[in-house]
Amino acid sequence: MTAMEMDAASSRPHGGRAGGQGGVGRPLRVDHVHCLDCIEGLLRLPAGSVDVIVTSPPYNIGKDYSRYDDSRPRDEYLSWMGSVFAECRRVLRDDGSFFLNVGGKPSDPWVPLDLAQRAREHFHLQNTIIWVKSITIPRASVGRAAGLRADLAVGHYKPVNSERYLSGCHEHVFHLTKGGASRLDKRAVGVPYSDKSNVRRWRSGGLDIRDRGNVWFIPYETIQSSRGHPTVYPVGLPEMCIRLHGARPGTVVLDPFMGTGSTALACVRLGVRYIGFEVDPAYVRMARARIARTHRAGPGGR
């Protein structure tokens, strides 16, 4: 994409430029994963140029990245992330949404909360979403109408071999905005009413769809080979976040920690624009390969 094409994209009602006046250095291509440090990339974007940010930064819990030390002193890590948050605020539109996925580990559960507290210096916390990766539903708890013949255990998680800690089956998604008033398309991620009498009772406009709420069960996709990255979230998670904010023509989504491309894949599926930064060339190659496969699969391809 040329700079001229990016300038044209900026005139769309819900779109924004990803380069040009206001950024540092040459304009950046949209619909591309750039092999750049996140702050270096953010500095090259103009203010107010992206509609949605969806990302999952390193959690600083000792994961084995090839190009990044995930065991930094906590204060150093939080200071660095504070710089990232400041730039994310600058490039986000005033009515935009920043979905920050953060997890911890059983022996260090404060990581997400410490990071949210640092983000508080730059954003309003508009919503807190709990991403459930695995859950067990007792048959007796849901009644006969659910049709369960036994307790239901679904999803995947990493077991913890400990007499002190429970296995972690969820992570946080902090919905951050500039003013706490960004409008959402809740029906885009809504679910049907179980009790159809509620269609009339509640102000749903006669539609059989209700607010999904802030607890989302999104399991990992089942794969037969290595993911190639120690912390890959399922494509369904960024897809849900983008749909909740509003996936409109010209929407530009940023992921400053793109990894192997899950956010970009969600954008391709939804027909919105994306821009991503990733410091590891190997992960960039994986991301670009996944994106190419998704394009070859066509609309709705997985």
Q: Which pair of tokens denotes residue 274?
A: 């994306």
pLDDT range class, residue 27, cuts 50, 70, 90:
confident
Instruction: Determine, yes or no, domain membership for 160.
Output: no
CA 61 to chain centre: 19
**Across the chain, what does the average pLDDT equal?**
85
Higher pLDDT, 223 or 161: 161
Instruction: Determine, yes or no, domain membership for 259.
Output: yes
Q: How many CA atoms lie within 13 A of 118 on its CB side?
A: 20
User: Considering the entire predicted model, what is its pTM?
Assistant: 0.87
Contact 170, 86 (CB under 8 A): no
Question: Among positive and negative, which fits the CA dihedral 48, 173, 56, 236?
Answer: negative
Domain that holds residue 248: 15-133+169-297
Instruction: Determine, yes or no, domain membership for 162.
Output: no
Rg (CA), the chain: 20
Do the strands 152-155 and 273-277 form a parallel or antiparallel pair, or are they unpaired? unpaired
pLDDT tens readout for residues 173-193: 999 999 999 999 999 999 987
Instruction: Determine, yes or no, domain membership for 179.
Output: yes
Give the CATH number for residue 271: 3.40.50.150
Domain count, the chain: 1
